[in-house]
Structure 1
Amino acid sequence: MQTPKFARTSPSFHVELKNRINEYFKQTGQNTFGGYKIYLKAAVLVALFAYCYIQLVFFTPGNNWISLLLCALLGILTAGIGFNVMHDGAHGSFSRSPLVNNIASNIAEFIGASQFMWKMKHNVLHHAYTNIDGMDDDIEAKPFLRFAPTQKYYKMHRFQHVYFWFFYCILHFYWTFFTDFKKYFTQKIGDMPLKKMSTKDHVSFWLFKLAYFSLFVGVPIWQVGFLNWFAGFGVFTLVTGFILSITFQLAHTVEHTDFPIPDDKNKIDDEWAVHQLKTTANFATKNKFLSWYMGGLNFQVEHHLFPKVSHVHYPAINRIVKQACKEYNVKYNEYKLFRHAVISHIKFLKQMGRPGLA
């Protein structure tokens, strides 16, 4: 599949946005990185993660309920590290140092996600071609879930708004045990070929996978036994998977986001920045805890427009982008409350479950 081309407009809305954001940083004297705030957050999340892991594996609480609660907390922390450390590191916005960004990015390897595959899937395909069927791997969940009008309809989709949570829960398990390996052996993400892997990339892929399976399968089974590991790992991976899934899906697969289709010349009608605004939605941006925990991913519009800017700046950038959209009459999607976004997502799934919608 060839990559679609976006329209070129004059004046460019994207250039206008960049100029305004650059002016904001110039006037405030700030840089685009996270600074001490993001370092402190990363330290807290990683320290809590290490504490929970050590407690569960080496000092397992005698009370099974406490152990299971710690496993759930480990899942919450895993998603939080993914949002705040790995995600910003992969985009190069965690630190001004490329080395620190690489270290932050590679933390994901220890929680099961290959960075080589992630950067291709997320940074390249998802960010460039958001909600374009066949390009954006984030809306690829067939045959079980239908996330776009162009995707094939199956009768079971009539009930996807009821059963979606199950597949969201197994995302982390499926990702770490299956999809990374599928991408590695097929050398493809969906219909798109992977970037050629160097010897270093191959070695890194297998060494990190070995480290992950040792830390989360081998050592725990050795310490606590198979059945205890199975129960604990089940809670851990289900919680991680659901949080990761629902966070990213609320930003793109809701009632008011678009799913553009390239024309017969493989072109998209809108310029890239307008495409991002039409295919992306914010939610609960006034909720300070969610903004802190999700690493600003509830400010998904600003993140897609400026992925190399740290999420600590998104609240300020949000006001600038909204004003520009108002002046240029460009669509801006936002749900004030988290539950509003969840309801909209469920309604969207129900719409996609109708056989006549294509």
Structure 2
Amino acid sequence: MQAPKFAHTSQSFHVELKNRINDYFANTGKPTTGGIRLFGKAAFLLITFCYLYIQLVFFTPSAPWAILLSILLGACTAAIGFNVMHDGGHGSFSKYPFVNKFAAITAEVLGASHFMWNMKHNVIHHAYTNVDGVDDDIDAKPVLRMASTQKRYKLHKFQHLYFWIFYCFLHLYWVMMSDYRKYFAGKIGDIPLKKMSVKDHITFWGFKILHYSLFIVIPIVKLGFTDWLIGYLSFTVVAGFILSIVFQLAHTVEHTEFPVPDAATNRLEDEWAIHQLKTTANFATKSRFVSWFVGGLNFQIEHHLFPKISHIHYPQISRIVKQACHEYGVVYVEYPRLDQAVASHVAFLKQMGRA
């Protein structure tokens, strides 16, 4: 499927939103990047990650403690992805490009190619959210059916019961298979990859070797295969489930839409900003801990509309976006509590499995 085009309007809602957000930053004098609050959080997460890794590999705690620390390492890995890598990849971590680059490549150490992630997430997902055949994030077939336009199999009738098993293996699949499929195919779905330079190829393979050395070779040498396997599975299952559920709660719930381009013109009905609002949901917006842990990605609407603004500012600018949506009669999907969003996601999967 070719990437569709968005509708053009004489009075762009996106322009109105940008003007209001620009006024907010001009009036408050705040930078759009993360600042000291984000730097402090990043330092805390990275130091915690290093501490947990060193304790597990070089000091060999007893089995119960080792499993607990492995679980915490998985949670910390997800948190680094949300708070450090994600902002860095969008250029919102710092005003300095080299700092953003450093933040972004934490993905490489944790096992995911930043080159592939940038293409999959920044270029495709952020532009064509929930467009089946283009947005790779809703392509989990044949295991899961994430859109009514996807083929339904008998097993999908039970996907609202078994989905969590597959979410647990996202990180493992990402590290061991997904990046390689994209690399050797030269495309994500039907969208060709940007041409990789020699440096990109070296970075891809170099960091893969580093990741496998840190998380497979060294631990097996120090701990033995069985202890490593138990710890590694505890680590990757937790990281995978957290990464999966956060992104799914933002897009695959009952009230988000899955627009289909016009067959004749390959054009979507709405302009880009309204498309983002219709396909994206906020969740757990009343929880400060969730906001802190997931790097503001529970304010997914604001992130999709303004990805180059650090997540530190999302709770504040969400009021501006919500007010503009109210004035212009534009949908704003929000689940104030985490349990509401999870229940809606389960209901969505049930609906997709039985439609």
Superposition TM-score tier, normalisation by shorter sequence:
over 0.9
In structure 1, C-alpha distance between the alignment counterparts of 2:299 and 2:92, rounded to whole Å: 15
AA partner of residue 99 (structure 1): F
Residue 215 (1) aligns with residue 214 (2): yes
Q: Secondary structure at the match of 1:5?
A: coil
What is the count of residue pairs matched by the alignment? 354
AA partner of residue 80 (structure 1): A
Using the aligned pairs only, state the percent identity. 66
Residue 318 (1) aligns with residue 318 (2): yes
The structural deviation recorded for 1:31 is 1.1
Aligned Cα root-mean-square deviation (Å): 0.5
| Matching residue of 1:271 | 271
| Matching residue of 2:100 | 101
| Matching residue of 1:161 | 160
In structure 1, C-alpha distance between the alignment counterparts of 2:167 and 2:63, rounded to whole Å: 25
Deviations 1:192-229 (A, max 9, x none): 11111111111110000000000000000000000000
Q: Output aligned runs, 1:144-155, within 5 Å.
A: 144-155=143-154
Deviations 1:58-108 (A, max 9, x none): 0011x2010000000000000000000000000000000000000000011
Deviations 1:18-47 (A, max 9, x none): 000000000001110010000000000000
AA partner of residue 122 (structure 2): N
Q: Output aligned runs, 1:113-192, within 5 Å.
A: 113-192=112-191
AA partner of residue 330 (structure 1): V
| Matching residue of 1:41 | 41
The structural deviation recorded for 1:140 is 0.7
| Matching residue of 1:22 | 22
| Matching residue of 1:254 | 253
In structure 2, C-alpha distance between the alignment counterparts of 1:138 and 1:271, rounded to whole Å: 21
Q: Is the 8 A contact 2:256 2:280 kept in 1?
A: yes
AA partner of residue 246 (structure 1): I
In structure 1, C-alpha distance between the alignment counterparts of 2:102 and 2:33, rounded to whole Å: 15
In structure 1, C-alpha distance between the alignment counterparts of 2:9 and 2:306, rounded to whole Å: 19
AA partner of residue 277 (structure 2): L
Q: Is the deviation greater in 44-53 or in 2-11?
A: 2-11
The structural deviation recorded for 1:284 is 1.1
AA partner of residue 22 (structure 2): N
In structure 1, C-alpha distance between the alignment counterparts of 2:73 and 2:353, rounded to whole Å: 34
In structure 1, C-alpha distance between the alignment counterparts of 2:40 and 2:10, rounded to whole Å: 43
Q: Secondary structure at the match of 2:131?
A: coil
AA partner of residue 83 (structure 1): F
Structure 2 length as normaliser, TM-score? 0.99
In structure 2, C-alpha distance between the alignment counterparts of 1:157 and 1:87, rounded to whole Å: 31
The structural deviation recorded for 1:2 is 1.6
The structural deviation recorded for 1:260 is 0.2
Deviations 1:286-307 (A, max 9, x none): 2001100100000000000000
| Matching residue of 1:32 | 32
Deviations 1:108-164 (A, max 9, x none): 100011000000000011000000001111101000000001011110000000000
| Matching residue of 1:228 | 227
In structure 1, C-alpha distance between the alignment counterparts of 2:43 and 2:161, rounded to whole Å: 38
Deviations 1:160-206 (A, max 9, x none): 00000000000000010001011101111111111111111111100
| Matching residue of 1:82 | 81
In structure 1, C-alpha distance between the alignment counterparts of 2:189 and 2:155, rounded to whole Å: 22
In structure 2, C-alpha distance between the alignment counterparts of 1:107 and 1:135, rounded to whole Å: 27
Query: Structure 1 segments of 4 or more deviating over 4 A?
Result: none
Q: Is the 8 A contact 2:2 2:134 kept in 1?
A: no
Structure 1 length as normaliser, TM-score? 0.98
| Matching residue of 2:352 | 352
AA partner of residue 121 (structure 1): K
In structure 2, C-alpha distance between the alignment counterparts of 1:178 and 1:3, rounded to whole Å: 25
AA partner of residue 162 (structure 1): L
Q: Is the 8 A contact 2:2 2:190 kept in 1?
A: no
AA partner of residue 98 (structure 1): P
| Matching residue of 2:194 | 195
In structure 2, C-alpha distance between the alignment counterparts of 1:46 and 1:168, rounded to whole Å: 24
The structural deviation recorded for 1:10 is 1.6
The structural deviation recorded for 1:231 is 0.4
For structure 2, the residue ranges without an aligned partner over 5 or more in a row are: none
For structure 1, the residue ranges without an aligned partner over 5 or more in a row are: none
| Matching residue of 1:285 | 285
